[in-house]
Chain A
Amino acid sequence: MQLCDLPAYQLVEMIKRRQVSAVEVLESTLQRIQAVDGLPGSLAAEGGALETDKVHAFITLTAERARRQAEQVDEAIRAGEDPGPLAGVPFTVKDIFCVRDTPSTAGSRILANFVAPYTATPVARMEAAGGVMLGKVNLDEFTYGSSSESSAFQPSPRNPWDTSRVPGGSSGGCTAAVAAGEGPLSLGTDTAGSIRQPAAFCGVVGMKPTYGRVSRYGLIAFGSSLDCPGPVAHQVRDAALMLQAIAGRDPRDATAANIPVEDYLARLEEEVRGLRIGLSPDYFRITYPDPQGEGFRQEPLPAAISDAVMRAAGRLAELGADIVEDVPMPHTRFGIPAYFVISRVEAASNLHRYDGVKYGYRTPDYVDDLNEMYRRTRAQGFGPQPKLRILMGMYVSAAQYSQQYYTLALRVRTLIRGDFEAAFDPAGRYRLHALLTPTTPTTAFPIGDVYGDSVLMQYADQLTVPANHAGIPGISLPAGFDEAGLPIGVQLLGPDFSEALLLRLGRAFEMVTAEDAWRQRQPPVLNGVRG
């Protein structure tokens, strides 16, 4: 065990007790990055082919900036001051957040040269709490994907459990980094499952808070009505610690909730006896549009995944939770089609500002026509994923189609929210405190397997996207491995602002499975590194 493998809450205690310095923790983490990460993502390199056993989580490592922050933490402690609840904890940031004076690329050529002049609220809050930012980690271009492969900065991140596989996405750099001990915390974003799905793929904890619980200020927007910043961590307690630091109202984000932030740690280990946990058959099958013909094709989930969920339900039942079966969530299957429309309308509009006028990439070609400058800049600056989203977003929001698609999708969204309201209604039939589901329909897939089929790729989010439509919180927890040794995640979904309860359930599950054999495994990428 090295310092960089310890959970954040332990590091904070040790640093505050001066058992170890923030600088020592940082150096341990930098050594780990040096050992496992390999080449950072860049616009030029295709060198990933040479380093197939590395994680490649980073785009920009800001080691010197981190050293200065760690030194400040140590100085504060020496001066008898409290540097805050994240004192000296190294963390990574998905490169979709602006951080002052650092490249903030969104994984896109069009922002490759953009250095942000301001810092996103959640990053600023982690730093204010004593956190030490290591740098910016890789992602799908503008977060558009579920594998992190679409980044313009290659090589894209690998799964530490099997580097021939994807870490999931779009927060794949975050989850790969945490799984490999490159900082115990990472700040990700979740628009359709972009924290929870890669967390499941990489065997770590990932939480999407309630929409508006964490400010979006400084998060380069994808689907503005769906985007949620959230924590990625090894352990539930760390996720709670981090959420505590970043949650809360923000005068710079009108959609950030004014509701007071609960104490996520105070009741974290209270018992879960009597809590009602639902299981829905609608989360145990996956519904694809049939590419050959009309309609949809339904497939059951792989047995390893269903079994993991049922085992988790069993363990929670052992602790006295009531398991409620057969909760209908009939609109789950419409989540992806509705998401296709809503997210793309918002994305196309959010991408308008990248026009080569003010910042970012501008075509080097000589053009004397404004529209030609726009065309070339955007054609050269955007990769295929943003282009697909612009095309579809423009199409479905055009005046003559918008009723047919966008307005309809918004109605579907209301129906999906209705499913949850019925399930969580304290006076209703099910009165659930939480719904327990698989996080993903599959475990991590091989690099290149799904990439290119952006419809199929999207279905990786089928079980996570309903929470984004509904705005409710969800957490993915490691829950075992499949036959190939790949992590499986289970998801808990709860009503608005039930983060404390979800974390408590997650912690209970973590404690009851602490001695399980699967809990003792470590990612192969750390073999021979961890010592």
Chain B
Amino acid sequence: MPAYEAVIGLETHIQLNTSSKIFCPCKADSWNDPPNTNICPVCTGLPGVLPVLNQAAVEKAILLATAMHAEVQPVSYFDRKNYFYPDLPKGYQISQYDMPIARGGYLDLPMPDGSLRRVSILKLHLEEDAGKTRNDAGRRLIDFNRCGVPLVEMVTGPDLRSADEAAQYLIRLRQLLRWLGVSEADMEKGHLRCDANVSIRPTGADYLNPKTEIKNVNSIVAVRDAILTEIERQTREVEAGRRIEAWTLEWDEDAGVLRKMRSKETEADYRYFREPDLLPLRVDEAWRQRLLAEFPELPLERRQRFVEQYGLPEYDADILTGERSLSEYFEAAVRSYAGDPKRVSNWLMNDVLRMINELAIPAGELRLTPAYLAEIIKLVDSGAVNTSTGKALLEKVQSSGKAPEAIVQVEGLARVSDQDAIQAACAQVLAENPEQVASYRAGKVTLIGWFVGQVMRKMRGKADPQLARAALEALLKE
């Protein structure tokens, strides 16, 4: 029995986060808005209206294309894709067909073994979204709010080899979209939609077998599950000597099964032709240069630089570049701190990241600024506060927005290294706990940690633990 490998290509629809729609001034984002509240004559296809291209959508598409290393075309065209559906008010979708805004390109995926999988991009094109249809007790209700929301459709080559790789592609794509600020990239809200083309072949073969297309997958987990299920199904079919037919399948997430939507042979002829209501889309060099002047370093590049420039482990670098704001926060903190970057990384990854996740805000919006974080680490380094006070300071700064130094002053948090005060506290602890003292003296020396803890508690964490320990040991020897 031969081993099989999967051949997977993904077609993604990316909702651009422009403030207005692609061909009219209506608000683009209708999340939680009542149906048919962000509509106008243009996006509802009234007689006589005309589309006017939103330059912001073009600019976001150019940013994305550049990040995918795709070639932005100096001239591209819009076409009409003609079909009837109630939520497609003009009876055609304005899209790009044979002359899209960008061609070629790739996205590199870091693999667990440290290698990179290069996924080729065939093309990117701009188009408008359709509305939503809801069936309600035998009636069809249509919400036109989504009509005309700008989308980029991006198609990969058949370069992915497993469900995990497909999931990895979506994770990296989502990271990139947010990094560039071109899409909210929330799959649950439909900002990032994915259809998967799946086929299998004997491992090592170089031909392509008929593929099926899986539609309606709304999360990265669902994409992985659906592809896994389909690979298993195709393997069973092939082993049983049956042919794979070019079906379109729909993923039922609740039931965890794929359902056949239609056979590919019945696919419609969309009668594409150039959209006469729009001019050719020209992206001249000056515009492109202006737009790309502030093009950011991309996640993988930054990750690599963090390893090289700051001597961070791959693991740290990967997490710190997971999100653009976090990576910028890290660099700002390192600059302010002017010490070992790994020390900043530790503080960030252990404590600040948890805070960010709990608050669900980007790192850049913390009241605990990178400079404050650096100041706290320096306070700990210098012994002015102990580590636990340092950690407590993170929360205090975040909740008050005050400078760490000021909080230390006002709250009297500075570490107490006054020998007499520590001596007194230690004596008091020993006097209060005669049983423990007895067992220590009987040989249970590990109790020293417990004694130190008691002293710290008594001194509200301000004691220098080293001094406290020495004082306790001296007193216990007496």
Contact = CB atoms under 8 A, between A and B. Distances in A.
A518 interface: no
B52 A252 contact: yes
Contact of B46 (A216, A254, A348, A359): A359
Contacts of A20: none
Given A254-B53, A349-B271, A353-B89, A358 B45 contact: yes
A254 B271 contact: no
Interface string B79-102: 010101010011110000000000
Interface in A366-402: 370-371, 374, 394, 397-399, 402
A98 B84 CA distance: 24
Interface stretch (A34-42, A81-89, A109-117, A438-446): A109-117
Contact of A398 (B47, B271, B277): B271
A370 B86 contact: yes
B261 interface: no
Contact of B51 (A97, A254, A370): A254
Given A255-B276, A353-B89, 8 more contacts: A98-B46, A116-B48, A225-B276, A255-B277, A352-B82, A355-B91, A358-B44, A358-B45
A371 B140 CA distance: 13
Contacts, number: 100
Given A352-B92, A374-B84, A399-B269, A255 B279 contact: yes
A348 B84 CA distance: 12
Contacts of B269: 398-399
A357 B51 contact: no
Given A355-B91, A357-B142, A218 B48 contact: yes
B426 to A, nearest CB: 80
B280 to A, nearest CB: 11
A251 B53 CA distance: 10
B50 A254 contact: yes
Nearest to A356: B86
Contacts of B50: 216-217, 252-255
A132 B15 CA distance: 45
Given A255-B279, A358-B89, A349 B48 contact: no
Nearest to B24: A252
A231 B41 CA distance: 26
A116 to B, nearest CB: 7
B143 to A, nearest CB: 13
Interface of B: 41, 44-53, 80, 82, 84, 86, 89-92, 140, 142, 269, 271, 273, 276-279
B48 A97 contact: yes
A402 B271 contact: yes
Contacts of A117: 41, 46
A397 B273 contact: yes
Nearest to A110: B47
Dominant SS at the A interface? loop
19 contacts: A116-B47, A118-B41, A220-B48, A221-B277, A251-B52, A252-B49, A252-B50, A254-B279, A255-B50, A255-B277, A348-B82, A349-B92, A349-B273, A358-B46, A358-B89, A374-B84, A397-B271, A399-B269, A402-B273
Contacts of B271: 345, 349, 394, 397-399, 402
A219 interface: yes
Nearest to B90: A353
A450 B52 CA distance: 40
Judged by DSSP, the binding face of B is loop
Contact of B86 (A106, A349, A355, A398): A355
Contacts of B41: 117-118
Interface in A232-264: 251-255
A106 B46 contact: no
B273 A217 contact: no
Interface string A317-333: 00000000000000000
A346 interface: yes
A24 to B, nearest CB: 33
Contacts of A223: 276
B176 to A, nearest CB: 31
B84 A352 contact: yes
Contacts of B277: 221, 224, 254-255
Contacts of A77: none
Contacts of B53: 254
B47 A106 contact: yes
A353 B45 contact: yes
Contacts of B142: 357
Given A352-B90, A359-B46, A254 B52 contact: yes
Contacts of A118: 41, 46
A353 B92 CA distance: 8
Given A255-B279, A345-B273, A349-B273, A104 B44 contact: no
Given A224-B276, A254-B278, A397-B273, A349 B91 contact: yes
A406 interface: yes
B48 A120 contact: yes
B95 to A, nearest CB: 13
A217 B80 contact: no
A239 B46 CA distance: 30
A352 B279 contact: no
B43 to A, nearest CB: 12
A289 to B, nearest CB: 24
